[in-house]
């Protein structure tokens, strides 16, 4: 887990050695794939597309890297330390490669896109580099490597959404799944590398999204999280200016898409990430309020509580605008959980500006926050225009203030849940004891409870009896 984040958003966690089950009658080519993923939920979701593409070519997967013929690492570039982690990990494969010279080592994802061919020069044991829009080409790229060449495809696309590929669900609990609805990002926040690594924003055909959710439900899944860098800018059959492309066909915006997915089945819970404060409309909130199976939880990254800082960040909103969106959530979706992302020590951040972030946190009182020190990224607007001038120790001290405040808010909100009876979806066994299970409330609070007869995938009622700043403790109550 990220050293300075609370909660267990997947950001900066890694998933290693994910195995897919072969279905009856599937042809195998005798080659084993070892897949490892870093970064955000979108990257994990992409790894499922990669596994699907390679399975169709006969690859099987292994959780043991020593058995692998092909090692693929799906990487993240969001902060410098995310890249350093991957570089350190690559050192391990150096040795593996000496022992097994035919081993193919490939880098996928955001580092691949950011560094392109340079990766082959810097990391000698890497054979293959494929960007996020080049995964259909992976079987060919691997063949090229087998033929003795290094292989690179980092072309970004304006329309690739992998909409027709049914992702293989990797290493999952069989209950919760990610479903991508957009790719790329057109926002150009000045600190962010994502527009460079993921390309232009594009939305996926709504019918393929609904179909995927339907299939998941039929396979026993009970929760989907709709994914996009900015889900609020989802649009189908519309230009970015909101003009209709084909008048013969219906248009779909995010509020409408959510409503379509909510109707798949009342027993399928819906979550989504990430909402953008500049684009989140009241329509989305009204749809949430209307459908019980759309969870009352919004991740609404603020980044900073100061309007001048937000302007330098090119976020497209002020503190006042952001607070108006918070008030809209509290008005339209009562009892809605809210979480955020905060960056400490962005270029030019003064002590006063930092204090504004602290005061905004006190005004909103987030359930959860993911908090980071600013890390300058090559080619971004901030790197070109501003100086990374907040000293490391000041960034660190501000971050600690932010984290400590958030810990006290999370604890306070969790304590306020004690005594309530909540419906939870059971997701997994507790890591500490097989007698305990872990589920989530509608508001996304993690609850640990004695399992009795409950199984993964069940909905059940629990009474909250105790808590820490990270989770709730509950006991089953009769339905
Ligand atoms: N699309 C989402 C966030 C994607 S990146 C959004 O717009 O909110 C996830 C988080 O990483 C960001 O919200 C931001 O808080 C953090 N982040 C992005 N670039 C960063 C950088 N250069 N340094 C530190 N944190 C960064
Ligand atoms: Fe990055 Fe901003 Fe796009 Fe989020 S909205 S991915 S922070 S550019
Ligand atoms: Fe990282 Fe790329 Fe996601 S930079 S956060 S893996 S979009």
Say what the pLDDT of residue 8 is. 31
Domain ranges of the chain: 3-153, 176-415, 421-476
Counting residues of the chain whose pLDDT is more than 70, the rounded percentage is: 94
Instruction: Look at residue 368 and tell me whether its pLDDT is greater than 60.
Output: yes
The 10 Å Cβ neighbour count of residue 478 is 4
Is the shortest distance between the CB of 206 and ligand 3 below 6 Å? no
Question: Which of 14, 194, 378 has most ligand 3 atoms within 8 Å of CB, for mutation?
Answer: 194
Structure tokens at 44: 């994990």
pLDDT the model gives residue 242: 86
Q: Whose CA is nearest to atom 7 of ligand 3?
A: 194
Radius of gyration from C-alpha coordinates of the chain: 22
Q: What pLDDT score was predicted for residue 69? A: 95
Atom 5 of ligand 1 has which residue's CA nearest to it? 78
Beta bridge partners of 370: 5, 341
> With bands split at pLDDT 50, 70 and 90, how would you rate the model's confidence at 6?
very low
Indicate the CATH number of 3-153 among 3.20.20.370, 3.40.50.10800, 1.10.1270.20, 3.40.50.12160: 3.40.50.12160
Q: Which ligand is nearest to the CA of 14?
A: 3
DSSP string, 59-77: -EE-S-GGG-SEEEEEE--
Please report which confidence band the pLDDT of residue 12 belongs to, taking 50, 70 and 90 as the band edges.
Answer: very low
* pLDDT at residue 226 greater than cutoff 80: yes
pLDDT in tens, 252-272: 999 999 999 999 999 999 999
Q: Is 230 in the pocket of ligand 3 (CB under 6 A)?
A: no
What pLDDT sits at residue 479?
A: 74
Please give the biggest Cα pair distance in the chain: 65
Comparing C-alpha atoms, which of 472, 459, 465 is closest to residue 424?
459
| Closest atom, ligand 2, to C-alpha of 315 | 2
Residue 130: exposed, middle, or buried by beta-carbon count in 10 A (0-12, 13-18, 19+)? buried
- In this structure, the chain runs to a length of 479
pTM of the complete model: 0.94
Domain 176-415 CATH assignment equals 3.30.70.260: no
pLDDT at 92: 87
pLDDT at 2: 34
At the fourth CATH level, the homologous superfamily of domain 421-476 is Nucleic acid-binding proteins (2.40.50.140)
Which pLDDT value is given to residue 17?
Answer: 59
Q: Do domains 176-415 and 421-476 have the same CATH topology?
A: no
In a 10 Å sphere around its CB, with 0-12 CB exposed, 13-18 middle and 19+ buried, how is residue 72 labelled?
A: buried
Q: How much is the average pLDDT of 300-313?
A: 98
Burial of 416 (0-12, 13-18, 19+ CB in 10 A): exposed
Q: Which atom of ligand 1 is nearest to the CA of 301?
A: 8
Beta strands in 292-396 (DSSP E): 297-299, 337-344, 368-373
Model confidence band, residue 15 (pLDDT cutoffs 50, 70, 90)? low
Distance separating alpha carbons of residues 150 and 170, to the nearest angstrom: 28
- Residue whose CA is closest, atom 9 of ligand 1? 341
- The finding on whether 274 has its CB within 6 A of some atom of ligand 1 is yes
Q: What is the pLDDT of residue 9?
A: 36
Integer Cα distance of 60 and 346 in angstroms: 45
How confident is the model over 405-410, as a mean pLDDT? 98
Task: Tell me the pLDDT tens digit for each residue of 291-300.
Answer: 999 999 999 9
CA of 300 to the centre of ligand 2 (A): 12
191 lines ligand 1 (CB under 6 A): yes
Rounded to the nearest integer, the mean pLDDT of the chain is 93
Q: How confident is the model at residue 29 (pLDDT cuts 50, 70, 90)?
A: confident
How much is the average pLDDT of 437-455?
Answer: 96
Query: Are residues 238 and 253 in contact, defined by beta-carbon separation less than 8 angstroms?
Result: yes
Residue with tokens 């709504």: 206
**Mean pLDDT, residues 457-475:** 96
Minimum-distance ligand to the CA of 303? 1
Q: Which residue has the tokens 């995310």?
A: 82
User: Ligand 3 pocket check: which of 12, 37, 43, 156 to mutate, most ligand atoms within 8 Å of Cβ?
Assistant: 43
pLDDT tens digits along 173-216:
899 999 999 999 999 999 999 999 999 999 999 999 999 999 99
Evaluate if residue 11 carries a pLDDT over 50: no
Dist. CA 78 → ligand 1 center (Å)? 7
CA of 201 to the centre of ligand 3 (A): 14
Range name among 90-94, 127-131, 330-334 with the lowest pLDDT average: 90-94
- Calculated CA dihedral for residues 161, 165, 168, 172, nearest 10 degrees: 40
């Amino acid at each position: 887990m990220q050293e300075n984040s609370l909660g267990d958003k997947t950001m900066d966690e890694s998933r290693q050695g994910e195995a897919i089950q072969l279905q009856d009658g599937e042809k195998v080519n005798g080659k084993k794939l070892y897949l490892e993923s870093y970064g955000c939920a979108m990257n994990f979701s992409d790894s499922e597309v990669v596994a699907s593409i390679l399975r169709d070519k006969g690859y099987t997967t292994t959780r043991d890297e020593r058995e692998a013929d092909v090692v693929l690492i799906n990487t993240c570039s969001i902060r410098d330390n995310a890249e350093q982690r991957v570089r350190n990990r690559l050192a391990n494969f150096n040795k593996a490669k000496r022992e097994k010279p035919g081993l193919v080592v490939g880098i996928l994802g955001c580092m691949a896109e950011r560094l392109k061919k340079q990766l082959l020069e810097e990391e000698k044991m890497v054979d293959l580099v494929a960007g996020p829009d080049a995964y259909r080409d992976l079987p060919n790229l691997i063949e090229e490597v087998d033929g003795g060449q290094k292989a690179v495809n980092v072309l970004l696309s304006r329309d690739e959404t992998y909409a027709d590929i049914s992702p293989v669900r990797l290493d999952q609990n069989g209950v919760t799944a990610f479903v991508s609805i957009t790719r790329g990002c057109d926002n150009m926040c000045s600190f962010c590398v994502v527009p460079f690594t993921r390309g232009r924003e594009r939305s996926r055909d709504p019918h393929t999204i609904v179909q995927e959710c339907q299939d998941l439900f039929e396979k026993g899944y009970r929760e989907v999280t709709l994914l996009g860098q900015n889900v609020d800018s989802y649009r189908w059959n519309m230009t970015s200016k909101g003009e209709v492309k084909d008048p013969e066909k219906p248009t779909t915006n995010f509020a409408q898409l959510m409503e379509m997915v909510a109707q798949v089945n009342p027993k399928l819970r819906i979550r989504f990430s990430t909402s953008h404060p500049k684009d989140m409309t009241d329509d989305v909130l009204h749809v949430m309020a209307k459908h019980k199976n759309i969870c009352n939880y919004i991740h609404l990254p603020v980044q900073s509580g100061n309007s001048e800082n937000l302007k330098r960040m090119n976020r497209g909103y002020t503190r006042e605008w952001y607070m108006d969106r918070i008030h809209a959530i509290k008005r339209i979706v009562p009892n809605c959980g809210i979480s955020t992302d905060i960056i400490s020590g962005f270029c030019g951040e003064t002590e006063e500006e930092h204090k504004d972030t602290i005061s905004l946190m006190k005004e909103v009182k987030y359930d959860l926050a993911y908090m980071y020190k600013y890390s300058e990224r090559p080619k971004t607007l901030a790197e070109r225009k501003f100086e990374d001038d907040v000293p490391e120790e000041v960034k660190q001290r501000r971050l600690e203030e932010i984290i400590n405040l958030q810990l006290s808010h999370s604890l306070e909100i969790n304590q306020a849940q004690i005594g309530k009876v909540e419906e939870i979806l059971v997701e997994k066994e507790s890591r500490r004891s097989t007698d305990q299970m872990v589920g989530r409330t509608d508001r996304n609070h993690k609850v640990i409870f004695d399992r009795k007869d409950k199984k993964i995938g069940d909905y059940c009622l629990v009474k909250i009896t105790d808590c820490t700043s990270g989770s709730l403790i509950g006991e089953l109550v009769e339905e």
